[in-house]
Structure 1
Amino acid sequence: MTGFIANLHDPKNAATALCVESGRAFCAGDILADIDRLCPTLRQSSRIAIHCESARLFLIAITAAWRAGATVIFPATDRPAYLDGISSQFDLYLDDAAIRERLAAATATNTDNHMTLPAATDCRAVFFTSGSTGDAKPIPKTLALIEAEITIQEPLWQPHIPNGARIVGLVSHQHIYGLIFRIVWPVITGRVFTADPAPYWEMMQGDINNGDVLITSPAHLKNLHPDLARVPRPSLIFSSGGPLDLAAARETTAILGTCPTEIYGSTETGGIAHRKQTGDNCPWHPLPGVEVALNDAGCLRVRAAHIAGDDWYQTEDIAKINDATGTFTLHGRADRVVKVEGKRISLGAVERHLRQSHLVEDAIALIPDENDRRLGVVAVLSPTGRDMLADIGRFRMGRQLRREIAKFEDDAALPQRWRFVDQLPSDSQGKRPLHLLRALFAEMEPLTPEIVIQNRDDDRVNLSLHLPTDLLYFRGHFPGMPILPGVVQLHWAVDQAAALFDVPVTIGEVTQLKYRKPITPGSTVMLELDCDRDRAKIKFRYHSDAEGDHSSGILKWREATS
């Protein structure tokens, strides 16, 4: 199998289509011409950070940087605060605009056929992931290690991929999974890849051809667009970055006609194992050449040429190995880094960002429920924070603190569940066991919506209601598709009318009651109340900008009798 750099520079491939962007096919010769122009502009830099939306520009930039002898730095995000935090790691930063600007100003050159191309072992890269402290931890790699992994994976997938199939990516190429599957693998194997950024199904579902290979994450497969049932059938669907639940695997198979292939690994290790979930407790199969074992704490350790050579690499994943088959199952992590929406999130980093806020004195981040992988936080607010909470309510307080974290982290690291307490719970030894923290979420399922805005004009009131995702009434109504029961909507309208208009709580009659569209967890809806005292009735209407009318009716009250 020819290497990545050699394939790009092979004259025989010059007219071979390499990628598609904005409807235009780019041949290897087109890409190489841009690499030739960009490379001379990079020779003064030894560490180049590259963050691109376009996979085509990304390919051009990383290859030009390696040819210039530079180490390529892969930032996990382009958030300014994050880049400031790792600024000591690079001396030049390139994004799409900077690359286009350099290409426009550069002089066209021809590739020197006698040029010495860099060896894969000399093409150095640095990825960043969350260490135990929550700080961005640099992970050095070489192109040689990436090519070694592709060499063992390609024989597994090649028999399932028809000629002419494209690699269609929904995940970012900034992380090792996306880099391998969206960029390096197709270049090495001569498959066309899509270069447009398409993080959502709506952006690419009209551009799937029969037999295409989809590069996805659990977040994508848990949020399948209904129209995908009508798209051409992909030959393979890859998912990596976190565990995929069985329900999502089955739904993917039903809608797209292909059972997803999960890749288990990490930035440090690359790929370790694969599986297809066709039933309960499907085990992981180590990739060819990967050895697995357990340490004394029951955590998986792995050894392979593309991981650490002859040395064992110790993970923090708790596992059980089937000695008869060599397969294994995973049972959680022993450290404080979790996977949310397919992304690695450092709980320590989230806590540190919150403690830096003038609104927070202390905080603990956690996954409150293993069956509901949303991130939660238990926070002790400062006096300023407590005053703000009293003023704006829990929902808006959570939104404010999410904005504090968003300065540094991607959306997956923004907590969705909040508990504000006077003191963090602890046991007799002063420790903060997980079960005590989780109990705060189990015991505090709200019974009422959070009133975000209230506008009143005499006997007409508009209330903006936010419905927390953990509202008690969503539980069991209905499993897998929770909606707000109609009787609850009616009860809230009666309660609010009684409180706002000082009318009897006892309603004598409800007329013209209509339920049009469901109200779902996390929604913000308007409750409109119009009181007609002369006729002893109140019109109510639930509506939202996104869905229009949800429900409506007329409440008629009985006057008290003497």
Structure 2
Amino acid sequence: MTALLKHWLRHGPASQQLISFNHHDILTGEAFTAQVAAIFEALSQHKAKRWLLACDSSDLFAVGLCAGLLAGKQLILPANTQSGTLSELTHEFDAVLADSPLCEAKDYVALHKDLKHPGPWPTSQTFGELILYTSGSSGQPKAITKTLDQLDAEVTVLEQTFANHLPQCSVIATVSHQHIYGLLFKVLWPLAASRPFLSDLVEYPETLTYYANLFPNLCLISSPAQLSRLPDALEHQPQLRAPSLIFSSGGPLSLEAANAIAHCYGKPPIEVFGSTETGGIAYRRQQNNQQSWRAFATHEIKQDPDDGALWLKSPYLESSDWLRCDDKIQLIAPGEFVLQGRLDRIVKIEEKRLSLVQMEALLESHPLVDQAALVVLEQPRVQLGAAIRLSAEGNTLLEQEGKLAVNNALKQHLLSQFERVTLPRRWRYPAELPLNTQGKRIHKELLELFTHD
């Protein structure tokens, strides 16, 4: 099986292929073709090359995505449509393809349900490309270009690896299609493999239960942050109807959460490890605390002998050369490894270099701490801020003895590896760390925790 996505995009869906659904509507291949043809015509007649693509509904997003790729356009996918995000990207696109104008100063082609065009599925000699944005270690967005060849390679490998687990499956997701994980797992892979997807985002456990009861075979695309909270919503009770398969990506899932999901749904999720830049690298199902990751069959990996960095060769990459990643691994067998944290996020505090990843890991080893996030604060001078989600024991100490006692206990713990001048000067203890739907920390909101003393 090769070129699964490219073959589908060249020929289009069968007229009776069920593309998407929600609780009151379905979209067939025939209607989808008419919508794609209408947008393709509008884009082909427009001189703009770079188009911002954003839409809440996954079916309309897929219409814009297919039409843009077939029209040879460059599609810019913002992480969200917040005004600050769009203003940062305003010089990166010439026009907007969305369900609302978003930017008044830019030309706009509307995505809406009533699009119709009598023509057949559009043909194309040159496909367009996608540009996604990921936050670098500094928190600034970094542009990542994805060609159709790269996306096709990943979709094809996903089908080869997991198709046997997905008989006649429908796909629903709690994550956005504007990010690489949701884009691949919720939209592109289901389209190419003729699996219908839910056009809406699943935001509540009740919605998940509704669809699990409705469909005998269901594939859930979710994230560690959401899956960690789900067992509480299900009251930690085994469910009569469960998804056939659950995927998790965006960060490592705790063993506790994996076991809790297995208790409710019968088996733990399949976790996929990767990034916007690399695509999927490896996958696992957790059985123990040091569960190893298995690289996809098409990939080559090796461990840097000096610092343990992961080196990767993958058909998802633009180059056939080895790529050094910022993840530290321990290679335990060919294609099999254990993650040992990140190697980047090196900062200078008081002219001394330190690893934020290392300090966060040390904080999280303390019984008072559940999760820790460090940020570099620039005012009134360069210093560290620590945002800590406390454990039950930590919250008890905070209530009984106050913030200073918790601060001092954690500082004393950090002195085992770090010099006093490098320790965080400002501490915050929110009930939850700010995370997006992909389970990634929101850098801007972390900084806002330190706006007021």
Please classify the TM superposition score into its range, dividing by the shorter chain length.
0.7 to 0.9
- Structure 2's unaligned 5+ residue stretches are 103-107, 350-355, 382-387, 389-402, 412-416, 433-453
Residue type matched to 2:21 in 1? V
Residue type matched to 1:369 in 2? E
Q: Give the equivalent residue in structure 2 for 1:149.
A: 154
Instruction: Answer yes or no: is the 8 Å Cα contact 1:234–1:258 preserved in 2.
Output: no
Seen in structure 2, the aligned counterparts of structure 1 residues 108 and 58 have a Cα distance that, compared at 3 Å, is closer
1:361-380 aligned within 5 A: 367=360, 368-369=363-364, 372-376=370-374
Give SS of 1:262's match.
Answer: strand
TM-score normalised according to structure 1 size: 0.60
Shift of 1:52: 1.7
Shift of 1:305: 1.5
Aligned counterparts of 1:15 and 1:39: Cα–Cα separation in 2: 21
Aligned counterparts of 2:291 and 2:147: Cα–Cα separation in 1: 32
Seen in structure 2, the aligned counterparts of structure 1 residues 328 and 35 have a Cα distance that, compared at 3 Å, is same
Alignment of 1:226 onto 2:234:
yes
Alignment of 1:109 onto 2:117:
yes
Q: Give the equivalent residue in structure 1 for 2:18.
A: 17
Q: Percent identity?
A: 29
Shift of 1:105: 11
1:295-374 aligned within 5 A: 295=304, 296-323=306-333, 325-336=334-345, 367=360, 368-369=363-364, 372-374=370-372
Seen in structure 2, the aligned counterparts of structure 1 residues 320 and 11 have a Cα distance that, compared at 3 Å, is closer
Instruction: Answer yes or no: is the 8 Å Cα contact 1:86–1:136 preserved in 2.
Output: no
- Structure 1's unaligned 5+ residue stretches are 338-346, 352-363, 384-397, 399-416, 426-430, 446-467, 471-562
Aligned counterparts of 2:154 and 2:12: Cα–Cα separation in 1: 26
Aligned counterparts of 2:192 and 2:112: Cα–Cα separation in 1: 28
Give SS of 1:33's match.
Answer: helix
Give SS of 1:277's match.
Answer: coil
Question: Structure 1, residues 44-94: CA drift from partner, whole Å, max 9, x if none?
Answer: 321111122110111011111122221011111211112111211111123
Question: Structure 1, residues 121-163: CA drift from partner, whole Å, max 9, x if none?
Answer: x331111112244321101111211111122221221112222
Alignment of 1:243 onto 2:232:
no
Aligned counterparts of 1:175 and 1:104: Cα–Cα separation in 2: 21
Residue type matched to 1:53 in 2? D
Residue type matched to 1:176 in 2? I
Question: Structure 1, residues 228-272: CA drift from partner, whole Å, max 9, x if none?
Answer: 743512111100000111000000100111211000010011010
TM-score normalised according to structure 2 size: 0.74
Give SS of 1:252's match.
Answer: helix
Give SS of 1:140's match.
Answer: strand
1:164-175 aligned within 5 A: 165-175=169-179
Shift of 1:433: 5.7
Aligned counterparts of 1:375 and 1:108: Cα–Cα separation in 2: 49
Instruction: Answer yes or no: is the 8 Å Cα contact 1:259–1:276 preserved in 2.
Output: yes
Aligned counterparts of 2:84 and 2:404: Cα–Cα separation in 1: 24
Seen in structure 2, the aligned counterparts of structure 1 residues 102 and 221 have a Cα distance that, compared at 3 Å, is closer
Match of 2:222 among 216, 224, 233: 216
1:156-555 aligned within 5 A: 156-163=161-168, 165-208=169-212, 209-224=215-230, 225-226=233-234, 229-230=238-239, 232-295=241-304, 296-323=306-333, 325-336=334-345, 367=360, 368-369=363-364, 372-376=370-374, 437=423, 469=431
Match of 2:140 among 114, 129, 135: 135
Question: Structure 1, residues 304-334: CA drift from partner, whole Å, max 9, x if none?
Answer: 12224421111000111014x5310111111
Seen in structure 2, the aligned counterparts of structure 1 residues 132 and 376 have a Cα distance that, compared at 3 Å, is closer
Q: Give the equivalent residue in structure 1 for 2:437.
A: none
Instruction: Answer yes or no: is the 8 Å Cα contact 1:45–1:91 preserved in 2.
Output: yes
The structure showing larger relative contact order (alpha-carbon pairs under 8 Å, at least 6 residues apart) is 2
Give SS of 1:222's match.
Answer: helix
Alignment of 1:79 onto 2:85:
no
Shift of 1:275: 0.5
Seen in structure 2, the aligned counterparts of structure 1 residues 9 and 316 have a Cα distance that, compared at 3 Å, is closer
Instruction: Answer yes or no: is the 8 Å Cα contact 1:379–1:418 preserved in 2.
Output: no
Instruction: Answer yes or no: is the 8 Å Cα contact 1:37–1:106 preserved in 2.
Output: no
Instruction: Answer yes or no: is the 8 Å Cα contact 1:4–1:184 preserved in 2.
Output: yes
Instruction: Answer yes or no: is the 8 Å Cα contact 1:49–1:93 preserved in 2.
Output: yes
Alignment of 1:70 onto 2:70:
no
Instruction: Answer yes or no: is the 8 Å Cα contact 1:39–1:65 preserved in 2.
Output: yes
Instruction: Answer yes or no: is the 8 Å Cα contact 1:14–1:27 preserved in 2.
Output: yes
Aligned counterparts of 2:424 and 2:179: Cα–Cα separation in 1: 31
Seen in structure 2, the aligned counterparts of structure 1 residues 321 and 112 have a Cα distance that, compared at 3 Å, is same
Seen in structure 2, the aligned counterparts of structure 1 residues 59 and 434 have a Cα distance that, compared at 3 Å, is farther
